[in-house]
Amino acid sequence: MAYPYTHEKEVRILSKHFGEPEARTVEGWKARGGYQTLSMAFEMGRNAIIDEVKASGLRGRGGAGFPAGVKWSFMPQDGGRPHYLLCNADESEPGTFKDRELLRWAPHQVIEGMIIAAYAIRAEQAYVYCRGEFFETTQILARAIEEAYEAGYLGKDILGSGVNVDITVHCGGGAYICGEETALMNSLEGRRGTPRIKPPFPAQAGYMGMPSTVNNVETLSSIPFIIQEGADAYRANGTAESPGTKLFCVSGHVRRPGNYELPLGFPLMELIDDVCGGMKEGRTLKGVIPGGSSVPILNAEECANCEMSFEGVIAAGSQLGCAAVIVMDDSTDIVKEVRRMVGFYAHESCGQCTPCREGSAWAEKILRRIEEGRGTEEDLDTLMEVTSQMEGTTICVLSDSVAAPVQSSINKFREEYLSRIRTGEKAGVA
Amino acid sequence: MMTDQQSPQTVTMRIDGREVTVPTGTTILRAAESVGIEIPHYCYHPGLSSPAMCRLCLVEVEGWPKPAPACKTTVAEGQVVHIESEMAQAQRTGVLEFYLLNHPLDCPICDQSGECQLQDYVFAQGREHGRGREPKRVLGRDDFGGDVLFNGDRCVMCTRCVRFMREVAEDERLCVVERGNRAVIDTFFDEGLEGSPFAGNIVDICPVGALVSKDFLHKARAWDLDRTPSVCPSCSQGCNITLQTRDDLVQRLKPRENMDVNGWWMCDFGRHNYEWINRVDRVEEPLVNGETQGWPEALGSLLGRLKEAKGEVKAVTWAHSTNEEMGLLKAMMEELGGSEVVYRSPRTVGELQLPGFPLLARREDLAPNVRGAEILGFTRVGDEEAEGGLDDLATHKGVLIVVGDPLEDQNENFGAQAELFIYLGSYLSKVAGNAHYVLPTTTFAEQEGSYTNVQGRVQRFWPGIRSPGSARPGWLILGALFAEFTETEAPIGADQAFVQVAKGVPEFGEITYRDMGTRGAPARKSAGVAGD
Amino acid sequence: MSEARRIPFNNPGWAGNTGEFQLTEAQVRGDEYVGKRPPEGGHPSGTSTYPYMLAEKDPEAPLFEGAYQERFEKIRSRYPDARSALLPSLGMAQELRGHLSPETMEQVAQLLGLSPAYVRGVATFYTMYNKRPVGRFLIQVCTNISCSLCGGDDVLQAFLNNTGTEMGETSEDGNFTVMEAECLAGCGFPTTVQINSRYYENVMPKDVPEILERLKAQGE
Ligand SMILES: Cc1cc2nc3c(=O)[nH]c(=O)nc-3n(C[C@H](O)[C@H](O)[C@H](O)COP(=O)(O)O)c2cc1C
Ligand code: SF4
Ligand code: SF4
Ligand code: SF4
Ligand code: FES
């Protein structure tokens, strides 16, 4: 087996060719049925593509879960001004590691999806905003794009259709916040990566003030299948509200962490116990962060009946986010891990908004004090209040992301904080 | 084609229970301002873009899930906004607490104290006891060059300064370095702000004591200063300013908002060119042939001598003289059958325009009332330094009247041959020694008066400091003399003097002091054209 | 690189230590597919993807001449304005010089018609632009949540111990600078370490000496 992390319960659509080096090449991709959807799409026309994507119910895979087809339909219908398609490959949410896999194993899948999307939204120029650290990955992508140009899939008059699409890879410089779509546009413009106030929304004024659409790598990678097989085939997987398959990035204390492509709605415990081989020897589940570090922690009880769909995780008390499942067993030091996550947000806050800039650093300091055994019970109230002052008061939701782990962990693992405060000793099983 | 027919031009909404009607597109912050409610804010400044990042102006909008930044949110018909509701107050208190976490307890040694928006806001609605227990961040001071000193610890990161340099000065020498909580304002390493002609404005717009003036450092406490509306005398732009004074000394000049002239800004040249106002080598009492005399005696004998004088009358003034002085000088000259009035004024090469507010430029004429002199038909003589050009006056044998100009460039024989030499001025210059009559005048800072700026805008100023001795405004002296001559009423206020002057000057037309108010009034373009 | 090298130890630069894994390191990394990329830039669409954390640095290298000038122009041609080319240009400057000194920022500013202060503001926003010189190998160890749960702190400590350095400082021989990194998007393969432009995954403290030896020996 080429790709080490597979499981028979997987439904491998996006990840079908992971681990096959030949699938990276344009010839190899074609041999696997790639690039057939371009002429199909150009024949369908823009509206039909958008309708098909709408019908598929595909929801954005970057975290917010906004329906992709609906987002595309916000783009102005007339020409005149340049439109831009921006592929969000800034993957930096702690726990997430799917976009890099998609880019390095199936680069042509993303390219194919981008060509269709660009055509649908009337963009002739598309950018892939790649996380700067992905040097190896971006070089694979760059090579694949070069091959696509050589094969006539990119550039002017693609396959004689009259459609023009250029793709440029743009590398970031190391800043999580540039994954936020408006910060991404600022960064692409050569500015500090600070999020912009909305409105105006990207479809009105995005990159260079022009109509723009931002989509995640996985969202765009899903497009060829939808065009090829149709919306119904796509909906054959997943739930009514969350159709399709999704790459679940499982990390932490499971035996077989990795990326697993499963239908949305897949039970969380089955993912952990069966697909990922369960907890490590002799350990029990303490909690799970189901959607990347920005969403509330679930305790073991809440995990029991959680279904991994957008609606299912909300029902369980958290959010699906980008389906980055971080599993923590009973050895986990909650105070330390929460402090580490909050430290991340403090480090990555762009610093515009006062609550985020000051609050994230403050919360980190308090948590560090507690971790070092110098906390007081009052600190917990302060943390709850400080983080609540950070919710809904800022330009982007990074600030809210600090509140999620802090508040959920204090609510659900208060005893652990208290014992740290009282004894200075970390909880959890050694 | 779609038309805007249905979209109404105004919107009516409620702020804290008050009904407010404002033009469509107005922000909540401005709408509140229009009914006199101030919403605390830092990053918003009317002259800059609104990044809505300080989050201090968050208000409650009924029906909205989140608080809205008042500086960026536009009003909507029927909207109900709460600024003083519990929720809105809690937001502000919360944000202020964040500001205080790393803010030093510097008030006793901070120049901003007394006019600091952090101090004010925290006093009004801060938490009684901050909960920050962690050590504060320490950044220290950084000399930004020019007149600007940066106290990093006091900065609230509103980025007004950065945006001013980028958007208004268009000289992007400031930046936010780093990000998040590590962010600080800085210049490009040692480059500093030196040579940037408008950089001083960042000190004004800094809402706290992070950017302070080196010139003003620890000179005075804000609450000890008296503030008087005035006009910058350093060039013909006539930026509206406030004289900030203490103990009858000007401590600093600050721009005063006037959208028709200078916006919120002024140039550094004008800002720092004030020491001369505090000059102490002043004439304090009238001197008649070198002897101190009281005003009644001096004016009485002068009147007599003027009536007797046979020779031709010549006069020179400068462009620092007010409209009133100039106008009455002109009237006087006409009465005495004198020839034209000449004036001198320094000139530099090239304007320094403020790119983001192009109405404002440091003009080539480095005196405030060149336009006034032109309107009154005075003839400009002398060179760029306002020197020379007075050869025929220097040796004039008839009556010589000097108003204002201390004639520092002239030699000690100037006016020595004059039959009657009258010097109205503020300073004891060597030339004044030759004058039969030295009549001490007040400077613009000590009197009420008006200037006409380069745009032809007539602008008033007020007395901010007391004059030394018994110095009087030039218009009062000239007005009295003229009245005696013509057997009319002498003006007893600058407003009357202006009315008297304006009568004969079509450009000034019917303008009164009341029309000018604190923001000036445009003179008519030219006599023949009916103004509209 | 022509000889297909077997993965020498259990942290092959990717996730495969399950024993079922049949690929060479070069295949996983895509080295063979990518090939050697020309300094003047290949196709202009990918000219910003060059690694800019390299072992060999020349702080005096000119900006930009010859092949690099050509690449710079290709980069410029992909954007509607000069400002947008700032990040890739800073990257290329760092590729040559190893870090962005004030002079470098000023030169890049000049090339793009921006103010030096502006460029400083942008360069300091992003963590990958080195504002001071670093060792030949910049070792960045992820200690964020997923790696932390699996011992990331120990791996970081192992790198510090084995290089004999303090966090962020460069070893005396100029070879190594070790730093803590935020999540590198390798969470399923903990601990993830970025060394110059390459990822090392599933790194355990015991692997550290071997990795350092390998770096010294083969240069990258
Ligand atoms: C702080 C923050 C970080 C984000 N990071 C990413 C990211 O790394 N990748 C991503 O695709 N979306 C990220 N997003 C979401 C994007 O803003 C945006 O919603 C998404 O790219 C849209 O694509 P989609 O509709 O295809 O999901 C982030 C959002 C926030 C607020
Ligand atoms: S919430 Fe934080 S990251 Fe987002 S814009 Fe505000 S300061 Fe920047
Ligand atoms: S120095 Fe003053 S104006 Fe500039 S960001 Fe700080 S507080 Fe605002
Ligand atoms: S521009 Fe002229 S009037 Fe304005 S501040 Fe400068 S010198 Fe004074
Ligand atoms: S004034 Fe509105 S957010 Fe700063």
Please give the average per-residue pLDDT across C204-220, as a whole number.
Answer: 85
Q: Judging by beta carbons within 10 Å of its beta carbon (0-12, 13-18, 19+), is residue B408 exposed, middle or buried?
A: exposed
Regarding whether C145 and C120 lie in a shared domain, the answer is no
Q: Does B178 touch chain C (CB under 8 A)?
A: yes
The token pair that represents A376 in the structure block: 């007081």
pLDDT-above-70 percentage for chain A: 98
Which has the closest alpha carbon to C193: C8, A100, C204, C170? C204
* Per-residue model confidence (pLDDT) at position C21: 61
Residue B258: DSSP 8-state: B
Helix (H, G, I), strand (E, B) or coil at A310: helix
Cα dihedral A403, A405, A411, A413 in deg (nearest 10): -150
The token pair that represents C1 in the structure block: 């690189």
Spatial distance between the Cα atoms of B34 and C79, rounded to a whole number of angstroms: 44
CATH classification of the domain holding C152: 3.40.30.10
What are the chain A neighbours of C20 within 8 Å (beta carbons)?
1, 4
Distances (CA, A) of C154 to A67, A282, C159: 42, 22, 9
Pick the CATH number of B10-84 from 3.40.50.11440, 3.10.20.30, 3.10.105.10, 3.10.20.740: 3.10.20.740
pLDDT-above-70 percentage for chain C: 90
Please give the average per-residue pLDDT across A344-349, as a whole number.
Answer: 98
- CB nearest to A340's CB, from C22, C51, C148: C148
* Per-residue model confidence (pLDDT) at position C20: 52
Which stretch of DSSP H or E encloses residue C90? Answer: helix C86-97
The token pair that represents A324 in the structure block: 């980055």
Spatial distance between the Cα atoms of A236 and A311, rounded to a whole number of angstroms: 18
Q: For an interface test with C, which of A131, A170, A259 has the most C Cβ atoms less than 10 Å from its Cβ?
A: A170
Question: Is the CB of residue B56 below 6 angstroms from any atom belonging to ligand 5?
Answer: yes
Per the listing, tokens 């218009």 go with B475
Range B515-530 burial, b when 16+ CB lie within 10 A, else e: ebeebbbbbbeeeeee
Cβ(B341)–Cβ(B311) below 8 Å: no
Cβ(B448)–Cβ(B460) below 8 Å: yes
* Per-residue model confidence (pLDDT) at position B62: 97
Cis peptide bond N-terminal to A199, omega within 30:
yes
Q: Are C43 and A174 an interchain contact pair (Cβ–Cβ within 8 Å)?
A: no
**pLDDT tens digits, residue range A238-293?**
999 999 999 999 999 999 888 999 999 999 999 999 999 999 889 999 999 999 99
Cβ neighbours of B94 (radius 10 Å)? 21
* Per-residue model confidence (pLDDT) at position B127: 78
Sign of the torsion formed by the C-alpha atoms of A268, A274, A280 and A282: positive
Chain B: nearest CA to A197, how far in angstroms? Answer: 7
B296-299 contacts: CB < 8 A, separation 24 or more? B298/B437, B298/B439, B299/B477, B299/B480, B299/B481, B299/B484
Q: Which residues share a beta bridge with C137?
A: C176
Pocket (CB within 6 angstroms of ligand 1): A 60-64, 66, 68, 71, 88, 90-93, 177, 179-181, 214-216, 219, 396-398
Cβ(B482)–Cβ(B332) below 8 Å: yes
> Where are the strands (E) in B74-208, listed by range?
80-82, 141-143, 148-151, 174-177, 184-187
Per the listing, tokens 């000289």 go with B171
* Per-residue model confidence (pLDDT) at position B7: 58
Regarding whether C191 and C158 lie in a shared domain, the answer is yes
Spatial distance between the Cα atoms of B330 and C164, rounded to a whole number of angstroms: 88
Sign of the torsion formed by the C-alpha atoms of B364, B366, B372 and B375: negative
Q: What is the mean pLDDT of chain A?
A: 95
Sequence-distant (6+) residues with CB within 8 A of B220 are B244, B246, B251
Distance of CA C220 to the CA centre of its chain: 11
Weakly modelled stretches of chain B, pLDDT under 50: 1-5, 527-532
Spatial distance between the Cα atoms of C17 and C48, rounded to a whole number of angstroms: 32
Spatial distance between the Cα atoms of B353 and C203, rounded to a whole number of angstroms: 61
What are the chain A neighbours of B94 within 8 Å (beta carbons)?
355, 389, 393
Q: Which residues share a beta bridge with A318?
A: none
Q: Does C128 touch chain A (CB under 8 A)?
A: yes
Which has the closest alpha carbon to B332: B413, B424, B428? B424
Question: Is the CB of residue B121 below 6 angstroms from any atom belonging to ligand 5?
Answer: no
Instruction: Give φ, ψ of B400 to 5 degrees.
Output: -125, 125
- CB nearest to B175's CB, from C102, C106, C121: C121
The model's pTM: 0.95
- Which residue type sits at A297? I
CATH of domain B287-522: 3.40.50.740
Per the listing, tokens 């508040």 go with A407
* Per-residue model confidence (pLDDT) at position C5: 31
Question: Which of A363-367, B115-119, B494-498, C115-119 has the weakest average pLDDT?
Answer: B115-119
**pLDDT tens digits, residue range A101-133?**
999 999 999 999 999 999 999 999 999 999 999
The total number of residues written for chain C in this structure: 220
pLDDT at C7 exceeding the cut of 70: no
Question: Is the CB of residue A352 below 6 angstroms from any atom belonging to ligand 2?
Answer: yes
Regarding whether C138 and C219 lie in a shared domain, the answer is yes
Question: DSSP of B414-445, one letter per residue?
Answer: TTTT-SEEEEEESB--TGGGG-SEEEEB--GG
As a three-state string, the secondary structure of B41-87 is: CCCCCCCCCCCCCCCCCEEEECCCCCCEECCCCECCCCCEEECCCHH
Which has the closest alpha carbon to B137: C157, A362, A152, A354? A362
Helix (H, G, I), strand (E, B) or coil at A397: coil
Q: Which residues share a beta bridge with B254?
A: B242
Cβ(A390)–Cβ(A402) below 8 Å: yes
Spatial distance between the Cα atoms of B448 and B503, rounded to a whole number of angstroms: 19
Could you list the residue range(s) of the whole structural domain that residue C51 is in? 44-125
CATH domain A245-329 topology: Ubiquitin-like (UB roll) (3.10.20)
**pLDDT tens digits, residue range C166-199?**
999 999 999 999 999 999 999 988 899 999 999 9
What are the chain B neighbours of A347 within 8 Å (beta carbons)?
180
Q: Judging by beta carbons within 10 Å of its beta carbon (0-12, 13-18, 19+), is residue B308 exposed, middle or buried?
A: exposed
Regarding whether C147 and C91 lie in a shared domain, the answer is no
Residues 161-180 of C with CB under 8 A from A: none
The token pair that represents A216 in the structure block: 């995640």
Q: Are A104 and C30 an interchain contact pair (Cβ–Cβ within 8 Å)?
A: yes
The token pair that represents A418 in the structure block: 């208290």
Question: Is the CB of residue B98 below 6 angstroms from any atom belonging to ligand 4?
Answer: no
- CB nearest to A190's CB, from C22, C84, C190: C84
CA angle (B363 as vertex; B428, C117 as ends), nearest 5:
115
Per the listing, tokens 């550094």 go with B268
Instruction: Give φ, ψ of A294 to 5 degrees.
Output: -85, 0
Question: DSSP of B329-389, one letter per residue?
Answer: HHHHHHHHT---EEEE--B-SS-EE-TTSTT-EE-SB-STTHHHHHHTT-EE-S-TTS---
Q: Is the ipTM of this complex over 0.90?
A: yes
Spatial distance between the Cα atoms of B458 and B455, rounded to a whole number of angstroms: 9
Regarding whether C72 and C56 lie in a shared domain, the answer is yes
Ligand 4 site-directed mutation target among B267, B455, B457, most atoms within 8 Å of CB: B267
Question: Which of A124-133, A379-388, A417-426, B514-523 has the weakest average pLDDT?
Answer: A417-426
Cβ(C67)–Cβ(C27) below 8 Å: no
Q: Do domains A245-329 and A334-423 have the same CATH topology?
A: no
Cis peptide bond N-terminal to C116, omega within 30:
no
The token pair that represents A381 in the structure block: 């109230």
Alpha helices in B193-248 (DSSP H): 201-205
Task: Count the alpha carbons within 13 Å of C195 in the hemisphere toward its beta carbon.
Answer: 23
Tally of domains within chain C: 2
Q: Are B67 and A365 an interchain contact pair (Cβ–Cβ within 8 Å)?
A: no
- List of chains touching B (3+ CB pairs within 8 A): A, C
Regarding whether C95 and C27 lie in a shared domain, the answer is no
* Per-residue model confidence (pLDDT) at position B113: 92
Q: For an interface test with B, which of C83, C125, C126 has the most B Cβ atoms less than 10 Å from its Cβ?
A: C125
Spatial distance between the Cα atoms of C122 and B99, rounded to a whole number of angstroms: 24
CB pairs under 8 A between B and C: 37
Q: For an interface test with C, which of A17, A251, A275 has the most C Cβ atoms less than 10 Å from its Cβ?
A: A251
CATH classification of the domain holding C108: 1.10.10
Sequence-distant (6+) residues with CB within 8 A of B94 are A355, A389, A393
Regarding whether C182 and C152 lie in a shared domain, the answer is yes
Regarding whether C215 and C141 lie in a shared domain, the answer is yes
Beta strands at B80-82 and B58-61: parallel, antiparallel or unpaired:
antiparallel
Domain ranges of chain B: 10-84, 287-522
Task: Count the alpha carbons within 13 Å of B119 in the hemisphere toward its beta carbon.
Answer: 18
* Per-residue model confidence (pLDDT) at position A429: 53
Regarding whether C50 and C29 lie in a shared domain, the answer is no
Question: DSSP of A320-359, one letter per residue?
Answer: -TT-EEEEEETT--HHHHHHHHHHHHHHH--S-SHHHHHH
Question: Is the CB of residue B519 below 6 angstroms from any atom belonging to ligand 5?
Answer: no
**Domain A21-235 CATH superfamily:** NADH-ubiquinone oxidoreductase 51kDa subunit (3.40.50.11540)
Chain C: nearest CA to A140, how far in angstroms? Answer: 6
Domain ranges of chain A: 21-235, 245-329, 334-423
Spatial distance between the Cα atoms of C143 and C155, rounded to a whole number of angstroms: 9
Regarding whether C139 and C120 lie in a shared domain, the answer is no
Helix (H, G, I), strand (E, B) or coil at B255: strand
Which has the closest alpha carbon to A18: B63, B346, B485, C23? C23
What are the chain A neighbours of C220 within 8 Å (beta carbons)?
none
Which has the closest alpha carbon to C22: A21, A15, A26? A21
Cβ(C74)–Cβ(C47) below 8 Å: yes
CATH of domain A334-423: 1.20.1440.230
pLDDT at C76 exceeding the cut of 50: yes
